[in-house]
Amino acid sequence: MQGAVFELQDANGTVLQSGLTTGADGKLAIEGLAPGVYQLVETQAPTGYELDATPVTFKIEKEQEAAIFLTKENRKVADSSDIRGNTPTSSGNKHLPKTGETTISQFILSILGVLLVFISIKFRKKRNI
- Share of residues in the chain with pLDDT > 90 (%): 36
Structural domain count, the chain: 1
Model confidence at 101, pLDDT cuts 50, 70, 90, reads: low
Comparing CA positions, the residue from 10, 46, 47 lying closest to residue 28 is: 46
Q: Is residue 105 part of a domain?
A: no
Q: Is residue 101 part of a domain?
A: no
Q: Is residue 90 part of a domain?
A: no
Model confidence at 106, pLDDT cuts 50, 70, 90, reads: confident
Domain of residue 30, residue span = 5-76
Please give the pLDDT value at position 129: 60
Q: Is residue 53 part of a domain?
A: yes
Q: Is residue 114 part of a domain?
A: no
Q: Is residue 129 part of a domain?
A: no
pLDDT, tens only, 47-99: 889 999 899 999 999 988 888 888 888 888 876 665 666 676 666 667 766 77
Q: Is residue 28 part of a domain?
A: yes
The number of beta carbons lying within 10 Å of the beta carbon of residue 21 is: 13
**In 3-state terms, the chain is what percent helix, strand and coil (to 5)?**
20, 20, 55
Q: Is residue 52 part of a domain?
A: yes
The number of beta carbons lying within 10 Å of the beta carbon of residue 52 is: 15
* CATH number (domain holding residue 67): 2.60.40.10
In whole angstroms, what is the distance from residue 122 CA to residue 129 CA?
11
